Structure 1
Amino acid sequence: MDLNAAADAYAATPLLNCLLREAAEPAGGGVHRLRGSGRLLRVHGGRRPGRPELRTADGWRPLSHAELVKLTSDELGRFTGITNDELPVEIADSRDTIAALLTARRTARPPTDPYLLSEQSLVMGHPHHPAPKARGGAPAASWLPYAPEAHARFPLLFLGVREDQCAEEGGRAAADAVDSLADALDGPRAPAGYRLLPAHPWQLELVAARPAVREALGDGRLVRLGESRLPAWPTASIRTLYVPDDSADLFVKFSLDVRITNDVRRLWRHDLLKLRRTDAAVEAGFAALRRSGSRAAWLADRGYRTAGFAFEELAVLVRDGLRAHTAPGATPLLAAALAEGYPGSPLSATTDPAAWWRAYLREVVPPVLELFDRHGVVLEAHLQNTLVAVDAAGMPVQALFRDAEGVKLLPDLPRAAAWQRLVYCLVVNHLTEIADELATRHPESAPLLWPAAREEFLRYATTHHLPEITDLLTSPSLPGKTNLLLRWTHADGADARYIPLPNSLK
């Protein structure tokens, strides 16, 4: 398959998944009736659909990627009564991004570290988003040097923010963590009267010309100090970088004024101001888990630093690294990488997929249920916020969770809505994708996977009174997030809407 054909195939799969889930009905044999027009669309490939064909008077006509985008736009316009000129451009941008990534990956040097390799392996991305790889329509040359999928690694830029203009929260631990980046990456130090402010080079390119930043650079409230000599590594979220240094071992998360999937990925003021409350609640829950013998770990968001005159644009958040939290001898891997598949994945190497799956469930499911049940914490335990550590034989031995920004607390969110969010993230977005990938690689295991998952939920229910589990296991449906319709109807990125999907746990 040539590069353009491969890019079309990668881009078509998530778009088709969305279109078929949200705006079509199955008609048998890989054929689906589109709800907007009643036209018939045929696809091939099961969980990774491709090669779409439209039924015409002359038979089945193959659709190019551009034709599929046009068909999707026409169908959604008919189905919703709403027009949208932005999303088709975003979908095309996602496809072109994939083409640029595939080109770059031909000559890029992958990381040798298994964890970093997993973070940088997502070529397709979110399997149920219409434009998972869009980069804001910018030319590839502007973002490719910072793309994890292209195996990027790059130095941080260091700014100095005048002390009276510095805003931060998280106490001495967070401040020390930010300052430690200069040592870890061999970067410049802040001069007297200034605080060190690391910056993502792409973000600084995007905001440097804005009045608040430009004026601060002109009058000395903000100064450029230079770049680090050593690189940091972008993870799958693009704006979060890993610094795997002995003296730091940190993740650093930046604002990025680019729409990635549903949201512009900025560190919003309201999220930063509630960060410590949220993270403290999660840390308390995981501390209780550890006291009960659980191996599950939380990568805490320690705090942030920014400039008061550009609070969101220049914010940097520091998060715990891996070394202090990963079980001895285990290797953490990104769950999203396990679901998409990549060279070296333990899913392809396992000789006992049923045992592998049971071990995976045992590490991932109970902590999420326990945090909800005992502590009122709703982890956003989807594929990108979950790491699964495996032993030398590739068996799951620990789950690690991250991202306080996505965590919800009871009673801030009504209990029914909180449980729906938990089920979507954990079961639909996460377990379904891992199970499907395991069944694809090991078809003989397919009949065993969902009974084992049901058993894991029942096992928790036997020792804990969580009535929602009974409802989950008897409900005819699970909530599926409608990412295509959310983007088409211009909904807020945080506004989750769901449609019912068949319940594999029943």
Structure 2
Amino acid sequence: MAPLLNCLLREASLAAGEPVAGRSLHRLRATGRLLSVRTGHRPGAPELWTGTSWQPVRHSGLIDLAAQEMRAVTGRSNAALAAEMTAGREVLEALLAARARAAPPDHPWLRSEQALIMGHSHHPAPKARTGGGPPGVWLRYAPETYARFPLVLLGVREDTVVDDGDTRALDTLGQAPDGYRLLPVHPWQLDLTHHLPAVRAAFAAGRLVQLGHTPWDARATASVRTVHVPGGPERPGASGDLFLKFSLEVQITNDVRRIRRHELRHVRHTDPLVTAAFRAMDGPAAWLSERGHRTVRGLDETFPVLVRDGLDDHVLPGATATLAAALTEGFDGDPLDRLTDPLPWWAAYLNCVVPPVLEVYARHGIAIECHLQNTLIAVDPDGSPVQAVFRDAEGARAIPATPREAAWQRLAYCLVVNNLTEIVNVLTHRFPEAAEALWPTARREFQRCAREHGLPEIKALLAAATVPCKANLLSRWIDADGTEPCYVPVPNPLAGATGQGDDGSLTPRRRAEH
């Protein structure tokens, strides 16, 4: 219920008074309904005013309330999204039951990748897997169940294979027969597509052949469709680890996770620019390059695989990578569990994350999608952040291919709202006595970067009353394209207590019309 409540409170409500006795009061803008919510790290226990009394709202009632509000806002219905919200609860029940029976991995980084039980904190259905089949099909591939599984190996006839970039790592995963190239495939994707006429025809004509499975297991990561391929003793003869990103005919959060042709072209254009920008940087921050991709002509979007750098060659010696998103949920090995004073840790986190993101934008005109699921924080043996590692070229935007205003809007949302705000929230929950010092510390880091780069967007950000925030509930309700979502303004925590005025450069291009 917490992610859906977060959506309603952020996108569709106004505060209706000061919090009292651990509860806050909100009025939904369009319908005028009054909602009382338990305050805290995650909102809960919602109650609705009937006109005479407060009535508790269960998950199904909250879905109805969200649907009524969105219909009033947009004049549209969306039964599919309402069903997805219901299904998301059923998915979560299946995940929790399976996770309780499974053994977690030994490595703390992998435990962090597989820790996202709640998932996106501001999404109406963060755990739904629409189109993926019943739980018996997909639980074996779910990161939340600590999934590890062999990959399917196909042979692609050489006159049918499409290669772009550096795909040599794929040829080390097995042995292809003469006249064929090796193509790893996610077994879930093959389950979902093997019956398609084009796939059946490719096998019948010998353009594709089955070669079995890898003798080693890949590990599911937080994004579900990206897997980690181990190096070292688990894969003898391998030079190091790597990640493989696949198409998946399943809708997860805002999109069907199929890798489309234009996305492949975008990655091949953008990734070299981002890679070069990070190599030019004087600091430990790293980028996991998507070196190339391989697919099948005629099935370009069905069986593409992107080759992404592994962690072995990027994480500082002696440091341990941690998925930043896992810090908001907690996991065995969470560096926050060892903290007694959060301020030095927070200052180190800011120093790792903020400068490289702003430097790449200021000096190279590239906005990386630095939200929590794309950010890895390497910590030293004491648990202190020493390095940020970023990933996912699909979400990166380069100027001028992307207009500067749009690139900055996306960066500001990912960095301030999706990343730093979520980390502040969990630190405030754990250390309420330090809450008032967290955002001033962040503001000083941004001011330092502003002095170094002279970037007008940073100065405007620090003066703005609001920052752009992706409206996931509204965007999904109107079926907005996942790459062009609606944004709503939310209070800017960096502006400080003086409440400086809004700045035009941060005005969202598409405001929700509440």
TM-score between the two structures when normalised by the length of structure 1: 0.94
What is the distance in 2 between the residues matched to 1:58 and 1:27?
Answer: 17
Partner residue, 1:229:
215
Partner residue, 2:278:
286
Q: Secondary structure at the match of 1:53?
A: strand
Percent identity over the alignment is: 56
Deviation string, structure 1 residues 296-333 (Cα, Å, up to 9, x no partner): 00000010011002001100111000010000100001
Deviation string, structure 1 residues 441-482 (Cα, Å, up to 9, x no partner): 111211110000000001111222101111101100111110
What is the distance in 2 between the residues matched to 1:194 and 1:463?
Answer: 52
Q: Secondary structure at the match of 2:337?
A: helix
Deviation string, structure 1 residues 237-285 (Cα, Å, up to 9, x no partner): 0000001212140000000011111111111111112322211101110
Aligned counterpart in structure 1 of residue 191 of structure 2, from 179, 195, 205: 205
Partner residue, 1:166:
161
Q: What is the one-letter code of the residue matched to 1:243? A: V
The answer as to whether partners of 1:341 and 1:437 remain within 8 angstroms in 2 is no
Aligned-residue CA RMSD in angstroms?
1.0
Partner residue, 2:418:
429
What is the distance in 2 between the residues matched to 1:406 and 1:275?
Answer: 9
**Are residues 1:73 and 2:67 paired?**
yes
Post-superposition offset of 1:44: 0.7
4+ residue runs of structure 1 moved beyond 3 angstroms?
A: none
The answer as to whether partners of 1:391 and 1:397 remain within 8 angstroms in 2 is yes
Residue-pair matches, total: 483
Post-superposition offset of 1:150: 0.7
Q: Secondary structure at the match of 2:280?
A: helix
Partner residue, 2:127:
133
What is the distance in 2 between the residues matched to 1:245 and 1:468?
Answer: 42
What is the distance in 2 between the residues matched to 1:95 and 1:192?
Answer: 48
Gaps of 5+ in 2: 233-237, 496-514
The answer as to whether partners of 1:153 and 1:233 remain within 8 angstroms in 2 is yes
Post-superposition offset of 1:176: 1.6
What is the distance in 2 between the residues matched to 1:464 and 1:34?
Answer: 42
What is the distance in 2 between the residues matched to 1:339 and 1:107?
Answer: 23
Partner residue, 2:374:
385
Q: What is the one-letter code of the residue matched to 1:268? A: R
Aligned counterpart in structure 2 of residue 151 of structure 1, from 134, 146, 151: 146
Q: 308-317 vs 131-140, which deviates more?
A: 131-140
Partner residue, 1:96:
90
Q: Secondary structure at the match of 2:101?
A: coil
Aligned pairs for 1:407-486 (under 5 A) are 407-486=396-475
What is the distance in 2 between the residues matched to 1:87 and 1:314?
Answer: 27
Partner residue, 2:257:
265
Partner residue, 2:326:
337
What is the distance in 2 between the residues matched to 1:241 and 1:209?
Answer: 24
What is the distance in 2 between the residues matched to 1:504 and 1:342?
Answer: 27
Deviation string, structure 1 residues 465-501 (Cα, Å, up to 9, x no partner): 1011111011001111100000001111111221111
Deviation string, structure 1 residues 172-215 (Cα, Å, up to 9, x no partner): xx332111223xxxxxx211111101000000111111111110
Aligned counterpart in structure 2 of residue 180 of structure 1, from 161, 167, 172: 172
Post-superposition offset of 1:57: 3.1
Partner residue, 2:505:
none
The answer as to whether partners of 1:263 and 1:494 remain within 8 angstroms in 2 is no
Post-superposition offset of 1:48: 0.9
The answer as to whether partners of 1:348 and 1:441 remain within 8 angstroms in 2 is no
What is the distance in 1 between the residues matched to 2:301 and 2:451?
Answer: 46
Q: 20-29 vs 349-358, which deviates more?
A: 20-29
Aligned pairs for 1:257-406 (under 5 A) are 257-289=249-281, 292=282, 294-406=283-395
What is the distance in 1 between the residues matched to 2:167 and 2:371?
Answer: 29
What is the distance in 2 between the residues matched to 1:114 and 1:19?
Answer: 34
Aligned counterpart in structure 1 of residue 225 of structure 2, from 239, 244, 249: 239
Gaps of 5+ in 1: 1-11, 183-188
What is the distance in 2 between the residues matched to 1:497 and 1:363?
Answer: 30
Q: What is the one-letter code of the residue matched to 1:211? A: P
Partner residue, 1:8:
none
Partner residue, 1:195:
181
Q: What is the one-letter code of the residue matched to 1:228? A: T
TM-score between the two structures when normalised by the length of structure 2: 0.93
